[in-house]
Chain A
Amino acid sequence: MSLDCGWAIQGLAELGPVAEISGALWRLLTLADYNTRVVILGTALLGCAAGVVGSFTLLRKRALVGDAISHAMLPGLGLAYLLALAMGIEERSWSWLLLGATASSLVGTAAILGMRRWLRISEDAAFGIVLSTFFGAGVALLGVIQSLPSGHAAGLEGLLYGQAASLTWSDMGLIAGAAAAALVVSLLLFKELTLLCFDQQYLSTQGYSLSGLDGILMALVVMIAITGMQAVGLILVIALLIVPAAAARFWTQQIQRQVIIAAGLGAAGCFGGSVISALVPDLPAGAVIILVCTGLFLLSATFGYRQGVLWRLWRRQDWQQALARQHLLRGIYERLEVRTPGEIARAGAEASVTVEELLSLRSWNRRTVERVIERSQRAGLVTRIDGRVWLSKTGWLAARRLVHQHRLWELYLITHADVALQQVDRLADDIEHVLEPAVIEELEEILQQRGALIAECPHRSPESV
Chain B
Amino acid sequence: MVSDSPKTEPDANPSPPLPHWPLRVWDLTVAYQQTPVLWDVAFDVPPASLVAVVGPNGAGKSTLLKAIMDLTPRTSGEIQVFGQPFSRQRRRVGYVPQRESVDWDFPVSVLDVVLMGLYREIGWCWPIRKHHQARALEALNQVGIADLAHRQISHLSGGQQQRTFLARALVQQADLYLMDEPFAAVDAATESAIVQQLGQMKQAGKTCVVIHHDLQTVPEYFDHVLLLNMRVVASGPVAQVFTSENLQKTYGGRLTLLEEVTTALRRREKTL
Interface, chain A (partner B; CB < 8 A): 59, 61, 188-189, 191-192, 194-195, 197-199, 201-202, 204-208, 249, 252-255, 257-258, 416, 419-424, 434-436, 438-439
Contact = CB atoms under 8 A, between A and B. Distances in A.
B260 to A, nearest CB: 14
B158 A420 contact: yes
A258 B128 contact: no
Nearest to B108: A255
Nearest to B126: A191
Residue among B155, B187, B193 facing the most chain A CB atoms (10 A cut-off): B187
A253 B187 contact: no
A122 B155 CA distance: 31
B239 interface: no
Contacts of A61: 103
- Using C-beta atoms within 8 Å of the partner chain, give the interface range for chain B: 35 or more
Contacts of B122: 191
Contacts of B152: 253-254
Given A206-B90, A436-B189, A423 B71 contact: no
A189 B187 CA distance: 37
A202 to B, nearest CB: 6
A253 B113 CA distance: 13
A191 B187 contact: no
Residue among B90, B185, B189 facing the most chain A CB atoms (10 A cut-off): B189
A207 B90 contact: yes
B157 A198 contact: no
A194 B157 contact: no
Contacts of A439: 188-189
Contacts of B157: 420-424, 434
A199 B102 contact: yes
Contacts of A421: 157-158, 187
B119 A254 contact: no
Contact of B120 (A194, A198, A207): A207
A206 B101 contact: no
11 contacts: A191-B119, A204-B71, A207-B90, A208-B120, A252-B107, A253-B152, A255-B112, A257-B107, A416-B188, A421-B158, A421-B187
Given A192-B124, A207-B120, A201 B108 contact: no
A110 B156 CA distance: 38
Contacts of B188: 416, 419, 435-436, 439
